[in-house]
Amino acid sequence: EEYSHLQGTRWNKNILTYRIGRYTRDLLRNTVDSLVESAFSVWARASSLTFVRSHTRNADIMVEFVTYEHGDLYPFDGPRGSLAHAFKPGPGVGGDTHFDDAEYWTAGETGMNLLVVAAHEFGHALGLKHSRNPDSLMYPTYRSSRSANLLSIEDVVNINALY
Ligand SMILES: CNC(=O)[C@@H](NC(=O)[C@H](CC(C)C)CN(O)C=O)C(C)(C)C
Ligand SMILES: [Zn+2]
Ligand SMILES: [Zn+2]
């Protein structure tokens, strides 16, 4: 989901920090680290944005794997259903990205592909809304086959219209 009613529409800086909090046990930590970094680089390559990993609590974007009730107004729902959500740009919870750890997270075609889902969520964390174009990364339903060419032209146009 993108909770657009909560935050502003864009960050007012081009260098953003992110921190990974709670991990999933479905993947090795450094696999999660590299998939998250790759998902950010999808957007960095298509725009003027730069992402820097931080280990301090005041990072712009907090990335976490959580289940069910987890401290915001949007509890997860167990396996399948909602896979993840991210908050629009802004202070505090703004930009924060949560993955439902009741899913089975993978780096491949089985389960839920973390790179594909993270790239979608980070689009929201940067201020993008959903697209009605099934080819867009910001289409509201998950499709594992997408993992090849992540961004559509529309996604590149939209991120550059924002930054
Ligand atoms: C398999 N389950 C789905 O396809 C579900 N879709 C999602 O969980 C979206 C994330 C995908 C697109 C990575 C939620 N979203 O928009 C977050 O920003 C449902 C369509 C069932 C809601
Ligand atoms: Zn979404
Ligand atoms: Zn959440």
Q: For position 5, what pLDDT does the model report?
A: 46
Q: For position 6, what pLDDT does the model report?
A: 42
Which atom of ligand 1 is the closest one to the Cα of 139? 12
Interval between CA 145 and ligand 2 midpoint (Å): 17
Query: How far apart, in whole angstroms, are the C-alpha atoms of residue 44 and residue 13?
Result: 13
Interval between CA 163 and ligand 1 midpoint (Å): 25
Which atom of ligand 1 is the closest one to the Cα of 117? 13
pLDDT digits 0-9 by tens, 9-19: 899 999 999 99
Q: For position 57, what pLDDT does the model report?
A: 87
- Among residues 37, 64, 121, 154, the one annotated as catalytic is 121
Q: For position 3, what pLDDT does the model report?
A: 52
pTM above the 0.90 mark? yes
Provide ipTM, 2 decimals.
0.99
- Hey, which residues does 75 pair with through a beta bridge? none
Q: How far is CA 11 from CA 48, 50, 61, 138, in A?
A: 12, 12, 11, 18
Pocket of ligand 1 (CB under 6 A): 1-2, 80-86, 117, 120-121, 124, 140-142
- Is 121 among the catalytic positions? yes
- CB distance 99 to 24 below 8 Å: yes
Query: How is residue 135 written in tokens?
Result: 């080819």
- Give the angle 137-141-145 at the CA atoms, nearest 5°: 65
Query: How far apart, in whole angstroms, are the C-alpha atoms of residue 30 and residue 48?
Result: 26
**pLDDT < 70 stretches in the chain:** 1-8, 145-148
